[in-house]
Amino acid sequence: MKTLRKALGFCALFLLLITTACGGAAAPATQQYPGDNYNFEPAATYAPAATEAPAYAPQQNGQSPSAEQPNDMFFEDYGVNPAIDAEDDNLSTFALDVDTGSYTVMRNYLNDGNLPPSDSVRVEEYINYFDQGYDNPPDHQAFGIYIDGGPSPFTQTERYDMLRVGIQGYQVDEEDRKDAALTFVIDISGSMDMDNRLGLVKQSLEMLVEQLHRNDTVSIVVYGSEARVILEPTRGSDSDRILSAIYSLRSEGATNAEAGIRLGYNMAMEAFKSDGINRVILCSDGVANVGKTEAESILEEIHRHVEKGVTLTTIGFGMDNYNDTLMEQLADNGNGFYAYVDDRDEARKLFIDEITGTLQTIALDAKVQVEFNPDVVKSYRLVGYENRAVADDEFRDNSVDAGEIGAGHSVTALYEIKLFPNDHGRIATVFMRWEDPDTHQVVEISQDFDADQLAYDFQEASPYFQRAVVVAEYAEILKDSYWAEDGSLDDVYDEARRISDYLYRDDYMEEFVDLVREAKGLR
């Protein structure tokens, strides 16, 4: 079943690569970017079916873009999760996700003076952009489960509680990290010929070179109208040669993404480290203008590489013609993660603080199942993760594809829960299940959470919990979620400013306050 799902996912995605470039409703019938010599037609794209909100929770479509907003953007609306009666279904199951691209896309829109499209908002990626303050797992365990909760400050008429479920992976010391074979696949087509695209890619890679181990290797594949290798596998100790290849990058031609990805995986296999980390890193604006290709052969080739242990990270750059859906789904199907770089600071955060530190995968097919106690919990709603749902009866099916987690990564999910009055006892048990990438043994751990562990007052809870709840409310308002239709960015701003006093050394919290203020002025 897992193989079939992977195959179907790759097939749909590479059909998307072959036939699609992102196009907005206002885009002309035929589009051509500076330097590109390939015309293409906007086409419908593949996306998984959305998890629908209940009939009494109509879908909101959000604001119309202003005349100044970027055109030719492609996002996918996955809907919003419904509230579930715990007596009818007390299990909630989802694949873990460490993507953060949706948050930085939002920031880029606001910095350009526009609200992000509601379809661009994936609430879990807003939450997971921030440090959650979890401790390292105890007793040298691979993962720790952390649960806390308290009342929501955004529900006034009756009390709803928020439950924060956190998964924290163990840190791998820099000197203990496995050697890595990194293959960069870089879009150098005409649409990338901007400082915030190819220019930012070059700056990002320069930062990464400083973090390489002596025995790491770097390969670089570029693609415009055609794909070619500009750097054969080169040891990290030869930084001058790597930097010279980076400095040589120039934009050219159309966007043959299929050829670039194919050649990138071939190069990754040439550099393959049997006892190391093997990763392809795609840097692109997500646009794909591809001529004649053989979809089935590409599907088979990529799937074979995934099965052999080559993972795929996708990193988005640029706006105006950007395919968020493609970048996210490629990373999902390539057993990696998706991020979006909008400025040099984000490049530093990703390429210095995160990519090298979390390169080592410590969990394959990681998923979580929360079992709610229907004697205590009347109803619950998972906030976000609409496109990461797993059937409850597939939680212990080891053939089902789920998420991959790198060393040091944390993943957080929020639940909005309604408790029965005056009931005490166990609220929920959280189970986590994953495959160890070295031993291939499947491991399962669990953690209970009781009603008496809930904070009585929101402001008495951990400031990290408070921030997660406020960030989620902000995201749901931008998403025009049914569940936040009475929400106010004024209230979010007030809460965010108060929390920033507790997290006064957190630059990302200060920036978040500024972003909420900007959004307030635009809404």
**Whose structure tokens read 């692109």?**
284
Section 28-53 average pLDDT: 34
Q: What structural domains and CATH numbers belong to the chain?
A: 1-61+72-79+178-343 (3.40.50.410), 80-172+362-522 (2.60.40.10)
289 Cβ neighbours under 8 A, 6+ residues apart: 21, 36, 38, 40, 189, 254, 255, 256, 257
What is the tens place of the pLDDT at every residue in 97-113?
888 999 999 999 999 99
What mean pLDDT is predicted for residues 246-251? 92
The DSSP result for 236-290, as a single string, is: TT-HHHHHHHHHT----S-B-HHHHHHHHHHHHHHT--TTSEEEEEEEE-S--B-
Helix (H) or strand (E) holding 433: strand 426-435
Provide the H-helix boundaries in 142-248: 200-209, 239-247
pLDDT confidence bin for 206, thresholds 50/70/90: very high
Are 93 and 369 a contacting pair, CB within 8 Å?
Answer: yes
The pLDDT value recorded for residue 164 is: 98
pLDDT value for 69: 58
Q: With a cut of 70, say whether residue 56 has pLDDT above it.
A: no
Q: What is the pLDDT of residues 383-438, one digit of tens each?
A: 999 999 999 999 999 988 888 898 889 999 999 999 999 878 999 999 999 999 88
Q: Does residue 276 contact residue 178 with C-beta atoms inside 8 Å?
A: yes
pLDDT higher for 18 or 164?
Answer: 164
**pLDDT over 80 at 473, yes or no:** yes
Is beta strand 180-187 parallel, antiparallel or unpaired with respect to 277-284? Answer: parallel
Helix 463-478 and helix 507-522, axial crossing angle in degrees, nearest 10: 30
Nearest-angstrom CA–CA distance, 494 and 159: 20
Q: How far apart are CA 428 and CA 444, in angstroms?
A: 16
Task: Please state the pTM of the whole predicted model.
Answer: 0.84
Rounded to whole angstroms, the Cα distance separating 466 from 132 reads 10
Query: In Å, what is the CA distance from 517 to each residue of 276, 473, 478?
Result: 45, 14, 13
d(CA 391, CA 397): 10
- Stretch 60-86: mean pLDDT, rounded? 71
Give me 285's structure tokens: 């604006």
> How far, in Å, CA of 167 to CA of 369, rounded?
12
H/E stretch holding 434 reads strand 426-435
Please give the single-letter amino acid code of residue 19: T
Residue 203's pLDDT is what? Answer: 92
Question: What was the pLDDT predicted at 336?
Answer: 82
Q: Is the pLDDT reported for residue 53 higher than 80?
A: no
Instruction: Write out pLDDT tens, residues 300-330.
Output: 666 677 778 898 888 999 877 788 888 888 8
The answer on pLDDT for 26 being more than 90 is no
Look over the chain and give the mean of its residue pLDDT values, rounded to a whole number: 83
- 83 with 382: CB under 8 angstroms? no
Say if residues 63 and 90 touch (Cβ distance below 8 Å).
no
**Phi and psi for 54 in degrees, rounded to 5?**
-65, 165
Amino acid 94 reads F
Query: How far apart, in whole angstroms, are the C-alpha atoms of residue 512 and residue 496?
Result: 8
Question: In Å, how far are 148, 251, 273 from 282, measured between CA atoms?
Answer: 36, 16, 19
Confidence band for 73, pLDDT divided at 50, 70 and 90: confident
